[in-house]
Structure 1
Amino acid sequence: MDAKKLKQIKELRHILHQHPELSGQEKETAKRIAEFFKPLNPSQTIKNIGGYGIAFVFEGKEGGPTSLFRCELDALPIHENNDIKHKSVHEGIAHLCGHDGHMAIIAGLGLSISNASLHRGRVILLFQPAEETGEGAASVVEDTKFSKIKPDFAFALHNLPGYDKNQVVIKKGSFTAASTGMIIKLKGKNSHAAHPEDGNSPAEAMSKMIVALQKLPDAMKKFSLITVIHAKLGEVAFGTTPGEAVVMATLRSFDNDTQLLLINYAEKLSQQIAKEYGLSITFEYTEDFAATINDPDAWEYANQAAKDLKLKAKHIRIPFRWSEDFGMFSAHTKTLLFGLGSGKSHPQLHENNYDFNDDLIPTGVSMFEGIVKQIHQD
């Protein structure tokens, strides 16, 4: 990538960082991306896919496979604590996961493709909404517009603090965990605090449930994890015995079948405790992420690209415990998600002093260019 193009992409990244938008609200971000791509003359632009998502289609000279390269539009509801010129202008909202950098990389790939014709097939550059809530990929896949661009392959990357800068972190099979937010509501009976025997407080059941849920994965054959993240008992009313309680937990596992089993076991355990204390119980679910499964064929393209670029690669054996809604695409096509090291001492994702490392942009673009070359240009 020449210096002029790199400067253009970095400037785009800094503008995106200054003007972050939360999941499902990425209207202006999508507009900025559309303006950037206008002079690149894509064959087709698909707006409002899965919300404010936007996709750019580049057609090859001949028929062939369709490859999708995906990045994320949304930012996080976190205060930024950085002394940088491009600091977020929206208090309490910031790109502290690097989605601005991921967008810059895909924009760089757009610059590359627009200047080098594709021999066969087509390339889709997707700027996806609402990744942070786990809703965006599902919304895209369920959108009727997706049938027009359904890919044979889908690729994405995520920057990874704690790894050597520009190191490619890659793995076949499960790469990131499935996760689900579970909300358990218990209902008993209020009474005067002076006469608790007249009511049915869920306090003891809630306490037992918190402990039991987090112990449940010990009995699972495959990796799973339950983390209780919030609990609420009654209201702040010193004259009243509580009649309701809520327990919230995040359930994780490395494959979707184990995740379904874990959810089933967690429900049965909670129902058993509720029954023991004569309480009614209901369940709700939120922020549902499928496991990202890296296909062997897609893996080969990325692995070869890293070799051709003589990049240091780390082939991990154990999947990451965090989740990425790119996993939703794994159920519909051959996917590959890889990591790109941000530096050993780089602030971690979601920390309020995090800022995407611009040094990753040329490497990210080159990796994707290498994949495009193998599928569409060789």
Structure 2
Amino acid sequence: MTPQLTNTDLVELTAFRRLLHQFPEVSGDEVETAKRITTELERLAPGRILTGLGGHGVAAVFDSGVAGPTLLFRAELDGLPIQEINDQDWVSQIAGKGHLCGHDGHMTMLLALGRLIARRPVATGRVVLMFQPAEEDGSGARAVVADPAFDAIKPDWAFAIHNEPGRPFGFVALRAGLMNCASQGLAITLQGKTAHAADPQDGVSPALAVAGLIPALNALGQGGALDDRFRLVTITHVTIGEPCFGIAPADGLIHATLRATDDSALADMAAQARALAQGAADQFGLKVDFAVCDDFAASINHPAAVEVATAALDALGMDHGPEGLPMRASEDFGVFGWGAKAAMLCVGPGVDYAALHNPDYDFPDDMIPVGAAIFDRIARDLLGS
């Protein structure tokens, strides 16, 4: 018989989720969150706990002692730099920061799974509970996988759940192939020379270069259907000079988010964007610099992992399908799929639920046992019990 979470479990896990919710930490700063997770994992007495993975990542290893595959389940540690607007008792206590994407709930689902595995170990192989840092800026999964300590827990299979408002409660969206687009934030800095506004010819202004680059960058990707030809450029921020009237500007800045359905297409588009910026800089006598932020690989579901997840959902009697997939939004879980058979599952919290990254979003605690049950069934189907 599959172990179940008790009422005591649910009360304790809910309280812990709400504690996490009150003290969000943004990407790269998840020091206290990692400590709280580590303390909870120690109570489960896994065979090994790794800390400091790729920054503040934490992993717990439950090893059966019998040869078999390594199965990794991932959650995210970080919150968002958004002020929460809610009136519940567990509202964020950190000004300007909030768990408004549900990562507090994802962490708690993984801890719930840990309780089930600790009570009834798997028969073969290993289960790794991976709490990764810095998902929101796309750097965390890459840093974890690149960490030499990750080699000791490198998985054969990897699974993750993300809540997705707009879907019925408990409905699971999944498909083989693309789940989330690749994307990259490209910052283009143009530098010239200031002059008096009465004598702009004495300076080197980026104004015309910026004015020309905006439509040129947009032309690289107009969106459309999410097929192999999908490309999208979104200009997210533009500035030139200072907010005054007496100075012809010297500096210009453009932030553009580039998005495509695969990593190679994104790389091609990024190269084209850089070439456009370099050409504009050369035309107007400017220097140009580039910086990359929020760099996300495409998240691709492996067919075998989708088959395993689908069988688990069928066994649990849960509705599922490919509706609303793939998604334009990015998710750095795809990096774990570079070396493992991986699948991301999107679970609905409700059709009319507040959207992710909205200031009034809060993870629904009723989803904790749902996610734990899915993960637990996948683990036992692959590893036995």
For this structure pair, what is the TM-score category when the shorter chain's length is used for normalisation?
Answer: over 0.9
CA contact (8 A) 2:80 2:98 kept: yes
> Aligned match of 1:365 in 353, 372, 381?
372
CA change 1:193–1:318 in 2 (3 A) is same
- SS in structure 1 of the partner of residue 117 of structure 2: helix
The residue aligned with 2:338 is: 331
Matches within 5 A, 1:46-125: 46-125=50-129
- SS in structure 1 of the partner of residue 86 of structure 2: coil
Instruction: Indicate yes or no: 2:265 matched with 1:258.
Output: yes
The residue aligned with 2:236 is: 229
Q: Which runs of 4+ in 1 moved over 3 A?
A: 218-221
CA change 1:219–1:370 in 2 (3 A) is closer
Instruction: Indicate yes or no: 2:282 matched with 1:278.
Output: no
CA distance, structure 2, for counterparts of residue 218 and residue 270 of structure 1: 18
> Aligned match of 1:197 in 178, 186, 201?
201
CA contact (8 A) 1:60 1:376 kept: no
The residue aligned with 2:152 is: 148
- SS in structure 2 of the partner of residue 62 of structure 1: coil
TM-score, structure 2 normalization:
0.95
- SS in structure 2 of the partner of residue 353 of structure 1: coil
After TM superposition, give the deviation of residue 118 of structure 1 in Å: 1.2
The residue aligned with 1:127 is: 131
> Aligned match of 1:322 in 320, 329, 333?
329
CA distance, structure 2, for counterparts of residue 189 and residue 93 of structure 1: 38
Residue deviations 1:303-338 (CA, integer Å, cap 9, x gap): 111111111112147421111111221222221111
- SS in structure 2 of the partner of residue 87 of structure 1: coil
CA contact (8 A) 2:132 2:141 kept: yes
Q: What is the number of residues matched between the two proteins?
A: 378
- SS in structure 1 of the partner of residue 349 of structure 2: strand
RMSD (Å), alpha carbons: 1.6
Instruction: Indicate yes or no: 2:383 matched with 1:376.
Output: yes
After TM superposition, give the deviation of residue 218 of structure 1 in Å: 4.6
> Aligned match of 1:157 in 145, 155, 161?
161
CA contact (8 A) 1:135 1:287 kept: yes
After TM superposition, give the deviation of residue 219 of structure 1 in Å: 10
CA distance, structure 1, for counterparts of residue 95 and residue 284 of structure 2: 45
CA contact (8 A) 1:200 1:243 kept: yes
CA contact (8 A) 1:65 1:120 kept: yes
After TM superposition, give the deviation of residue 19 of structure 1 in Å: 1.6
Q: Name structure 1 gaps, 5 residues minimum.
A: none
CA distance, structure 2, for counterparts of residue 218 and residue 348 of structure 1: 24
CA contact (8 A) 1:254 1:319 kept: no
The residue aligned with 2:318 is: 311
CA contact (8 A) 1:131 1:324 kept: yes
CA contact (8 A) 1:58 1:123 kept: yes
CA contact (8 A) 1:108 1:365 kept: yes
CA distance, structure 2, for counterparts of residue 185 and residue 32 of structure 1: 40
CA distance, structure 2, for counterparts of residue 196 and residue 24 of structure 1: 43
CA distance, structure 2, for counterparts of residue 333 and residue 89 of structure 1: 38
> Aligned match of 2:358 in 340, 346, 351?
351
After TM superposition, give the deviation of residue 92 of structure 1 in Å: 1.3
CA distance, structure 2, for counterparts of residue 249 and residue 164 of structure 1: 33
The residue aligned with 2:301 is: 294
CA contact (8 A) 1:290 1:327 kept: yes
Quick one: which amino acid aligns to residue 30 of structure 1?
A
> Aligned match of 2:12 in 8, 28, 31?
8
Quick one: which amino acid aligns to residue 56 of structure 2?
Y
CA distance, structure 1, for counterparts of residue 340 and residue 34 of structure 2: 25
CA change 1:152–1:254 in 2 (3 A) is same
- SS in structure 1 of the partner of residue 16 of structure 2: helix
CA distance, structure 1, for counterparts of residue 71 and residue 256 of structure 2: 36
The share of aligned pairs that are identical, in percent, is 42
